[in-house]
Amino acid sequence: MAMHAHAQTGRLFRFLLKKEWLKLTIWLIGSLFFVFIGVFAFTEVYGDAAERQAMAIAMSNPAMEALFGRAIGLDNYTVGAMYSHTMTVMALSLFALLSILLVVRNTRAEEEDGILEMLRALPTGRLSHTISALLYLVLTNVLITVLSTALIFSIGDPSMTFEGALLTGMIYGTAGLFFGAVALLMAQLSSNGRGAMMLSFGILGVSYMLRIIGDSGTEVLSWISPLGLLYGTEPFVNNYWWPVLVALGITALIVILALYLQHRRDIGAGLLPEKAGKRHASALLKTTIGFALRLLKTPLIVWLIALLMLGVSYGSVINDVEGMLANNEIIEQIIMSNPDLNIVDQFISMIIGVLSIAATIPALQALLRLKGEEKKNRTEKIITGNRSRIKILGVFLGISLVTSIVMQLAQLVAFGGAMLAMDADLSFGSLFESGIAYLPAMWVMIGGAVVLIGWLPKFTGLIWAYLGFAFTVLYFADLFDMPEWLTGISPYYHIPEIPTDEWSWTVTLLSTGLAIVLAIVGLIGYQRRDING
Amino acid sequence: MTAVLEVNNVTKMFGKFQALNGVKFKLNKGEVLGFIGPNGAGKSTTIRILLGMLKADFGNAKIFGKDVWTDAVDIHKRIAYVPGDVNLWPNLTGGEVIDLFLSMRGVKVNKQRKENLMKRFEFDPTKKCRAYSKGNRQKVALISAFAADADLYILDEPTSGLDPLQERVFQECVQEVKEKGASVLLSSHILSEVERLCDQVAIIRQGSIVEAGSLEDLRHLTRIQINLRTREEASKLVEQDWVHDLTYENGTYIFQLDADHMDDLIRFIQPHGVVKLESAPAKLEDLFMRHYETTEGGV
Ligand SMILES: Nc1ncnc2c1ncn2[C@@H]1O[C@H](COP(=O)(O)OP(=O)(O)O)[C@@H](O)[C@H]1O
Ligand SMILES: [Mg+2]
């Protein structure tokens, strides 16, 4: 019987590759690109030892250590040490995420869809489907290990030794294996793919938090966190190998436990009990606003937390900006539009521009959700009810506008609060003025999205291209000397950069007016066009 | 006759909810068993236990004399399964999935037969599964099931997405495998389908088998619709306990007759001068409805 538990695993595995190869290729290219950018940027931008040392000082404060990990290799901050220090935690989280998605997609999600039932009715073993997903997990992470090692070693500078490169590749792959195994275990506990994913992300989040707390004092917590443990290998600095072995050992135990649970349990069942849902819709859910908020609740909360964290992390580095820039020409050029002005002020206004673009994303997402619902053929049920189209689009538009304001204010508070906590000298007033000045530009983007929803529903994705363009302008306009007519297309470009510039009522009123016109045009279009589902 | 499939007092709990309560029936070689019951009665649960996907809490089930939980792989080499709700990988074509399923059954596939089935079901195997309707996804499972021989076919409401013409094709397929000596367990909602195809019927309600036997036997348990016109009044009919729901309209009596009392009826009405006697054959549906009503009414 146990002998039969993996019958036909090979065939299932080949089949799995057939359906996954494209996703695998895209993920691998994306991941390697991420590794490449990191190594390339550090070797190019921080080729100079003095610059790196200045950076090392800037990086060794509690806020940065919380974000990136305990500072390592400070006495000789080579490119390798710098890469290890600043990129490892992010890379580990990325590969963990990739593996969680991979495992859930190929195990519990297929079980939930009823695909596993078809396979299990064939002469396949009770564990074959899971084992083939595990093989795929291993294959993916071995590829990540080998390719990352090769990439880092081939384009890195001399400080990036082969041993360090191999260890880096190994911890990337090990993080993937570990969290893939965790996801497989969670897939036994929860009876649906979404639940398994949420539990796994939760564990990843807890690992991240443990590492932050650990790296800001209670060191033992860092070692309990899988992310902290693997970070502790310190590639290119000390090259400790034992954490990899420990992590792989624990991974094996988790896999065995997951397979044991899987072998015993009923198909479709989860070990965690499911809460029964509500029998009746609440009064709030029955209103259009309540209904829309229910759809948007989770992503908006996630965005709020993300933006708060972004604000805190930018705010906490403000005192080190000068050291960090340390005459680094490329970065200086990105930030500085006017060499006569205070660089910290220019940095702040640039950061506020970046934050404003970031806060535009959830606002647009809230609005475009309506289009998403239409694509899934769900708006027709709302619209054929007693609610007018104008009202429905109006509600989503309203939520989008409120989102833009709330997100912007929240991250300004986080940014300013962190700066105060670091004893930076700043005026809260001018900081808020600067952030609020960007709101009309965000509304122009929202207005643009309404126009797309109203007139070109197939092309609502264009708004993201537009936002990406605006980001490029903000970041690179000074670096690449972009012509005025081109940069002027971005609504953010016209916003005065307070504190270095003055507040301008003309820009505020014109932008807001444009946003209103766009919204009205969009609403008219939505009133007249066919609803496709 | 040898039993291909035997279910003995199978009980299954989902937490506190009892989905199956001592389910018991069997299926002999070469027979087609109709497994019928209202939604939520426990048909799919029973079938998933038979396929070794759920573990019975009490009782046991055997297919080909082997235990369905421990010997699942061996059993599955000789069966074909079609679920009612078929989901497939969105980015693969129907043709690819059919080939995968067939290759995993480890049986010899006659290519001609497969192509033939696709033609009969009017199925286009070159589209990606994400583009298929429910009916088309079901055809993928049906074609994979019937394109190669199996000793036992387990079909769980396999026609819920098919149009009437394709349902015909399905019925022909069942007839064909039956002629080859295979056995079929057909869970169904469509009683006319069961009447046409099945030798045996098992009716399940709220997790228990309430009736099982050959269709012929069961017909005797059911009632026949009678339209009767007589020269003289026959109002005493209402007093007979094998007559039900009697109405009298324009000189015609309309009532339900217990199927095994036809003889009594003829004897009773003969003295009254029969002008017209029409009877509609016993329908499985009536039997089904009767069980439905009695249990619903708590009798
Ligand atoms: N995994 C499960 N967990 C809890 N209850 C279940 C589960 N599967 C089925 N049930 C319940 O068991 C009963 C029988 O379901 P099922 O066998 O699917 O019915 P049928 O196929 O006859 O329509 C239903 O009430 C159903 O809700
Ligand atoms: Mg069912």
Distance from Cα B207 to the centre of ligand 1, integer Å = 9
Q: Would you place residue A309 in the very low, low, confident or very high pLDDT band (cuts 50, 70, 90)?
A: confident
pLDDT computed for residue B298 by the predictor:
39
Q: Are residues A470 and A500 in the same domain?
A: yes
Q: Would you place residue A1 in the very low, low, confident or very high pLDDT band (cuts 50, 70, 90)?
A: very low
- Biggest alpha carbon distance in chain A? 79
In CATH terms, the fold of domain B223-281 is Alpha-Beta Plaits (3.30.70)
Q: How far apart are CA B127 and CA B148, in angstroms?
A: 22
Q: Does B10 touch chain A (CB under 8 A)?
A: no
Q: Are A450 and A519 in contact (CB under 8 A)?
A: yes
* Domain edges within chain B: 3-218, 223-281
Average of per-residue pLDDT across B207-235: 83
The pLDDT tens digits of the residues spanning B175-203 come to 999 999 999 999 987 778 888 899 999 99
Distance from Cα B43 to the centre of ligand 2, integer Å = 6
Does position A529 have pLDDT exceeding 80, yes or no? Answer: yes
Residue of chain A minimizing CA distance to B96: A15
Pick from A271, A302, A334: which residue ends a domain?
A271
Q: Would you place residue B296 in the very low, low, confident or very high pLDDT band (cuts 50, 70, 90)?
A: very low
Q: What is the DSSP letter of B208?
A: E
Ligand 1: residue whose CA is nearest its atom 12: B19
pLDDT computed for residue A329 by the predictor:
65
CB atoms within 10 A of CB A217: 9
Q: Are residues A342 and A290 in the same domain?
A: yes
Per CB-CB distance under 8 Å, the chain A contacts of B70 are: 1
B200-205: strand order across its sheet: B79-82, B152-156, B183-188, B32-36, B200-205, B208-214
CATH for B3-218, among 3.40.50.2300, 3.30.950.10, 1.20.58.220, 3.40.50.300? 3.40.50.300
Q: Is B227 helix (H, G, I), strand (E, B) or coil?
A: strand
The per-residue pLDDT of chain A, averaged, comes to 88
Q: Are residues A264 and A310 in the same domain?
A: no
The pLDDT tens digits of the residues spanning B7-50 come to 999 999 998 899 999 999 999 999 999 999 888 999 999 999 99
pLDDT computed for residue B297 by the predictor:
41
Residue A64 domain flag:
no
Cis link prior to A499 (omega < 30° from 0)? Answer: yes
pLDDT computed for residue A163 by the predictor:
96
Q: Are residues A350 and A264 in the same domain?
A: no
- ipTM value, please give it: 0.79
Least confident of A9-13, A124-128, A276-280, A333-337: A333-337
Q: Are residues A331 and A195 in the same domain?
A: no
CB atoms within 10 A of CB B148: 17
Average of per-residue pLDDT across B80-85: 92
Residue of chain A minimizing CA distance to B51: A121
Cβ of B19 less than 6 Å from ligand 1: yes
Residue A278 domain flag:
no
Q: How far is B168 from chain A (nearest CA, A)?
A: 24
Q: How far is Cα of residue A441 from the mean position of the Cα atoms in its chain?
A: 24
Backbone angles phi and psi of A291, in degrees to 5: -65, -45
pTM value is: 0.77
Give, for ligand 1, the residue of B12, B16, B17 to mutate: max count of ligand atoms closer than 8 Å to Cβ: B17
Q: Provide CB contacts within 8 A for A299, sequence distance 6+.
A: A362, A365, A366
Q: Are A345 and A499 in contact (CB under 8 A)?
A: yes
Average of per-residue pLDDT across B229-240: 87
The pLDDT tens digits of the residues spanning A264-284 come to 999 988 888 777 777 887 777
> Domain of A417?
284-533
pLDDT computed for residue B299 by the predictor:
36
Q: Would you place residue B224 in the very low, low, confident or very high pLDDT band (cuts 50, 70, 90)?
A: confident
Residue A65 domain flag:
no
How many structural domains is chain A composed of?
A: 2
Q: Which residues pair with B248 in a beta bridge?
A: B253
Q: Are residues A239 and A379 in the same domain?
A: no
Structure tokens at A278: 């509500």
Are A126 and B72 an interchain contact pair (Cβ–Cβ within 8 Å)? yes
Q: Would you place residue B225 in the very low, low, confident or very high pLDDT band (cuts 50, 70, 90)?
A: confident
User: Higher pLDDT residue, B233 or A333?
Assistant: B233
| Amino acid identity for residue B239 in this structure | E
Q: Are residues A293 and A263 in the same domain?
A: no
Q: Are residues A144 and A260 in the same domain?
A: yes
Q: Are residues A414 and A513 in the same domain?
A: yes
Q: What is the DSSP letter of A532?
A: -
